Amino acid sequence: MQFMLLFSRQGKLRLQKWYVPLSDKEKKKITRELVQTVLARKPKMCSFLEWRDLKIVYKRYASLYFCCAIEDQDNELITLEIIHRYVELLDKYFGSVCELDIIFNFEKAYFILDEFLLGGEAQETSKKNVLKAIEQADLLQEVRHNYFL
Amino acid sequence: MALKIVKGSIDRMFDKNLQDLVRGIRNHKEDEAKYISTCIDEIKQELKQDNIAVKANAVCKLTYLQMLGYDVSWAAFNIVEVMSSSKFTYKRIGYLAASQCFHEGTDVIMLTTNQIRKDLSSPNQYDTGVALTGLSCFVTPDLARDLANDIMTLMSHTKPFIRKKAVLIMYKVFLKYPESLRPAFPRLKEKLEDPDPGVQSAAVNVICELARRNPKNYLSLAPLFFKLMTSSTNNWVLIKIIKLFGALTPLEPRLGKKLIEPLTNLIHRFLSSVIAVLISLSSGMPNHSASIQLCVQKLRILIEDSDQNLKYLGLLAMSKILKTHPKSVQSHKDLILQCLDDKDESIRLRALDLLYGMVSKKNLMEIVKKLMVHVDKAEGTTYRDELLTKIIDICSQSNYQYITNFEWYISILVELTRLEGTRHGHLIASQMLDVAIRVKAIRGFAVLQMATLLDNAHMLTGNTQRNGICEVLYAAAWICGEFSDHLEDPLQTLEAMLRPKVATLPGHIQAVYIQNAAKLFATVLRAQEGVPDSQKAQETSQLLIDRLPLFVQSANLEVQERASCVLQLVKYIQKLQQKEVAVAEEVSALFAGELNPVAPKAQKKVPIPEGLDLDAWINEPPSESESEDEKPRAVFSQEEPRHTRPRHTEVDEKELARRREARKQEQANNPFYIKASPSSQKVYPEVPGVEHIPVVQIDLSVPLKVPGMPMSDQYLKMEEERRQKEKEEKKKKEKKKKKEKRGRGRKHESGPESEEDITPAHTVDIVTEEMPENALPSDDDDKDPNDPHKALDIDLDKLVQLLVLLFPHYFAEMWWKKKHFPCSVLLMLLYLRALLSVQVYDIQGNLQDGSQVVVSVIFENKSTSFLKSMEFNVLDSLNSKLQRPDGAGPHDGLSVPFQLPPGVSNEARFVFSVQSIVMPQKLKGTLTFIVKSEESSTHEKLDFKLHFTCTSYLITTPCYSDAYAKLLESGDLKSSSVRLEGVSMSFHHLLARICFHHHFSVVERIDSCASLYSRSIQGHHVCLLVKTADQTVSIDAKCDEPSLLGNVLDEIKQTFSMC
């Protein structure tokens, strides 16, 4: 996977994760272009797009679009599955997640993503393990926090 | 210190945290930019403080701003500071910020190396984890190099949490620093069998990704993956493994068969892997038509599904199968056409791709009509352009194989010009030119259409951007000018070409306009001079004189130059006209002669004039290469060029490529040159004398215009009617039809449907492109010379020839005697020969030891693959034995001490011990070797025969005439003689041949009589007296061993019978 973007129906970026190092300018350009194309598509259309030499796989959950860019040989369905798994994880972590959760706890959303994907590859396929790792890290954070404060 | 901390935390209470920032941004919707700039100022203040908590908070906010698109690169150093905090809370934020903001160009990355190393070896697994996660996003080649070792250690960490991260990040490290792959690979392989499923799946992931780039190196892991596939229950891992097998199966055909069973099991289990399976199947197992058939059927179900995603994936998989099994996909045409109507562009594009492969003569018009409807409906220009190129691709594929009615095609092209804003004007133009030039029968029609286009040029000129639709005017002008005889009203077209509006067209089009206006002028003059009213002709000249000055002033040099030339010419003509001199003939002579299309391969086919050696050096090459050239070739003179050639041709290739490039440049600017169509690689129908095939005129009894219908539709209708009529006729005159069919000029490829039923609307001869005279009409140059299968593509006669060529007189005998050698065996042999040739280059007796013979064998690798582990073995006979090293059994082979890269030859020597030398001997042998190509490595076997002739036991030994006389007088020699009839070579030649091939030396020569001598390795004397008269050669021979002599004479006879 090359990158993952989360954006709202209004085209506001909510989360971005790049697994290929690109300059900020390039990132911005790609984001703008993709957000436009994806938003222009109607709800009944399929989740796949060919864009430049990449394949874009996107899915809409409530008001949020989850959008991944994969290479030509990658499997589209597994990417959809990854998106879905990520949403499930967010849901479990926040307890029926909504857009605001991600906006206000965006660093947490990143931490979850980082536990789930690493370098663009699925790292842990077990939901339980991911959440366990996050909870423990959070715990550590809290303990130290309180200790030093 | 304590005070400071307290003070810091009090400060923090007044700071904005991330939540406040987000809320603030949401509350300042109107002046967001202003609000954020004040926030950034605050953050800058916060970053200046010593308190790390404040800094971390600031960095966290910056990360959010970065996502919104604000530049935060100025804070890179602060991010590093936060990263190096000892507290996990801050470290986590620091690494997150780094992974979001850093990229390869960030210079502070250099500063992080030691910090990251420290974190990697931290006792706290979460510190390590966070460092690994961050690193995966911003790893640079330097970091990869410096940290590869640390990460490798982590791969064996006690905690699976770290192990799986370390394994995954290794992939990124390999990409940045490939040298690390080799040392890390064993450990990576180990992780495939890690007890933790997470680590295992990570390892599978990494290896699958690696294998995709270079599958060959991972073939050895296939058994392990096979085990994983049958045992694993993790779908994610399974899909990856199946994908890996998809990459491996083309390399190892046996794998495909093994996979079928587990894969079919999987198909029943879940859907997503069905796609993966299908895709790997379609690329992996070319011969499994039953399973392919099944796949296509399953895919049809997917495509018919209401779920758009499945539909898309079904089409995608279909197009992969189309590449290898076009026939099985073609039957689903209806479905694909349906998909064209889909609302979703992704799906339409996929369907378009598929259409290309499924057209036939029967359905082409129908499909294109559908596409044309879509062109009209399409909203986005990208999709419309895509449609346009597809239409042209579909029609022009395989040298217009599927077009039965070119009038229809021209009308389609003309209709396409009405598209607004397309970028493919150039493509349409080149198609128009190509068709008009190569299909003679269509010229009249094409010219009329082009004239209309020129007349309505104002419709097209709106878009003057490069490659815009106005490019078609270039083609239109050229066609009208060149084939002006077909014009109905040349004067009107001439007028249209000289309208002032033309000056707004791009320069290269104007230039063509002017040149062709001149051609038209010539035509007009010719028509008008016949008429008594000379006023008309003068008016035409005046028209040009009036209009041309506009172009003389053009900024484009080409236009300017052509315009002034034509203008001067017309002025001169006008002067002559005023004197009432007839000029039309002379003017049209300026443009006389037909411009024929030039075949793309024409240059290659120009026969080389005699005496011109293209490979010869013009200047002597530097001396170092000379010695190589002069390698003596003792026995087979004809093989020499093969060894010296490649070096020359390589130079030639480069030169050719350069010239080709130059020529292309030239042609691109030359309006008279027809650029190769996209399908130019195809073989053109090279029927000699196509010109003589009668061109049937278009049957105009059917009205050309049907009101309210676009042109191309009429043709579709006409075509249908015509086919209907034909069918009826066919029923009536079944017999007559048969006869006709045989006589038809064009070749017909049998399509998926019964194509034979469709006759072209009017016989169209696609003009053969011009080839130089004397060019051989061969088409083998289409094939890749390196393709070993090419060798199979020849008839039996050639095959025998080739074998003889490969195995000069050792094998010759065998072929002549056994003419009924089964053909399949021949083919088998030849296939292997194509890979490797074994040439017995010399068999030399060993003088020191009367029972030893040294056989020199040349191994030449003719394939594109690497050959290795060659083993040479011979089935010993009682008389002759291969000398094997001590300790080797009598059936063991000898390994050839070298490997052969593609195209290389090398020589090996083998020693045989021979007991009796008086009889020729044949030994059967086998050479086993491994063919290693990029995709696979296979074991191959090549059988050969070694023929020990009696000649090979003879050794050229000089002898003085007195000793020779003494030898003959001694009387212990038995004599024998032989006569050769019809030998036309000179005596000198004849002697040289005997000496060379049979190891004799001339003792004495008087006129047409000579005495020769040779000695066998066991000391037998052989004396010959050769005489020649009237093409008859008589050889009287004496030897102390009569059977040896008889055999030597037989062999000499053989040598001469072969020439």
* Amino acid at the residue B67: M
Task: Look at A119 and B312 and tell me if their CB atoms are within 8 Å.
Answer: no
Set of chain A residues whose Cβ sits within 8 Å of the Cβ of B313: 48, 76-77
Q: Which residue has the tokens 């049209």?
A: B588
Residues in chain B, how many? 1059
Say whether residue B125 is in contact with chain A using an 8 A CB cutoff: no
Say whether residue A119 is in contact with chain B using an 8 A CB cutoff: yes
Query: CB within 8 A of B164, min separation 6: which ones?
Result: A123, A124, B196, B198, B199, B201, B202
Positions in chain A whose pLDDT score sits under 70: 142-149
Distance from A41 to chain B by nearest Cα, in Å? 8
Give the residue from chain B lying closest to A111, CA to CA. Answer: B96
- Rounded to an integer, what distance in angstroms lies between the CA atom of residue B367 and that of residue B372? 9
Q: Supply the pLDDT for residue A65.
A: 92
Task: Look at B69 and A13 and tell me if their CB atoms are within 8 Å.
Answer: yes
Query: What ipTM was estimated for this complex?
Result: 0.91
What tens digit of pLDDT does each residue of B50-70 get?
Answer: 888 888 888 888 888 888 888
CA nearest neighbour of B436 among B471, B477, B467, B470: B477
Q: What is the CA radius of gyration of chain A?
A: 16
Q: Which residue has the tokens 């018009």?
A: B365
Set of chain B residues whose Cβ sits within 8 Å of the Cβ of A22: 103
Q: Supply the pLDDT for residue A5.
A: 92
Q: Supply the pLDDT for residue B1024.
A: 87
CA nearest neighbour of B366 among B329, B330, B407, B408: B408
Residue B818 DSSP class: -
Query: CB within 8 A of B462, min separation 6: which ones?
Result: B420
**Residue B277 vs residues B230, B247, B281, B415, B1001: alpha-carbon distances, Å:** 14, 12, 6, 43, 72
Helix (H) or strand (E) holding A64: strand A64-70
Q: Supply the pLDDT for residue B962.
A: 83
What would the two tokens of residue A143 be?
A: 């303990």
CA nearest neighbour of B1046 among B1038, B1057, B1058, B1034: B1038
Task: Look at B239 and A18 and tell me if their CB atoms are within 8 Å.
Answer: no
Say whether residue A114 is in contact with chain B using an 8 A CB cutoff: yes
Distance from A50 to chain B by nearest Cα, in Å? 7
Say whether residue A87 is in contact with chain B using an 8 A CB cutoff: no
CB contacts < 8 A (A, B): 157
Q: Supply the pLDDT for residue A1.
A: 86
* Of residues A16, A48, A129, nearest to B346 (C-beta): A48
Task: Look at B206 and A121 and tell me if their CB atoms are within 8 Å.
Answer: yes
- Rounded to an integer, what distance in angstroms lies between the CA atom of residue A4 and that of residue B522? 67
Set of chain B residues whose Cβ sits within 8 Å of the Cβ of A119: 136-137, 168-169, 171-172
Q: Supply the pLDDT for residue B327.
A: 75
Helix (H) or strand (E) holding B984: none
Q: Supply the pLDDT for residue B800.
A: 44
Positions in chain B whose pLDDT score sits under 50: 1, 7, 10, 272-273, 282, 286, 625-651, 671, 673-709, 736-757, 759, 761-764, 775-834
Q: Which residues pair with B1013 in a beta bridge?
A: B1001, B1023
Task: Look at B169 and A118 and tell me if their CB atoms are within 8 Å.
Answer: yes
**Residue B450 vs residues B588, B628, B639, B989: alpha-carbon distances, Å:** 21, 62, 58, 69
SS3 for B235-304 is HHHHHHHHHHHHHHCCCCHHHHHHHHHHHHHHHHHCCHHHHHHHHHHHHHCCCCHHHHHHHHHHHHHHHH
What tens digit of pLDDT does each residue of B638-687 get?
Answer: 444 444 344 444 445 666 667 767 666 665 555 454 444 444 343 344 44
Q: Supply the pLDDT for residue B731.
A: 61
Say whether residue B344 is in contact with chain A using an 8 A CB cutoff: yes
Q: Supply the pLDDT for residue B31.
A: 83
* Amino acid at the residue B231: S
Report helix, strand or coil for A43.
coil
Say whether residue B537 is in contact with chain A using an 8 A CB cutoff: no
Q: Supply the pLDDT for residue B463.
A: 54
Query: Taking the CB of residue B570, how many other CB atoms lie within 10 A of it?
Result: 22
Set of chain A residues whose Cβ sits within 8 Å of the Cβ of B93: 107
CA nearest neighbour of B413 among B437, B389, B438: B389
The pTM (predicted TM-score) of the whole model is 0.57
Q: Supply the pLDDT for residue B781.
A: 42
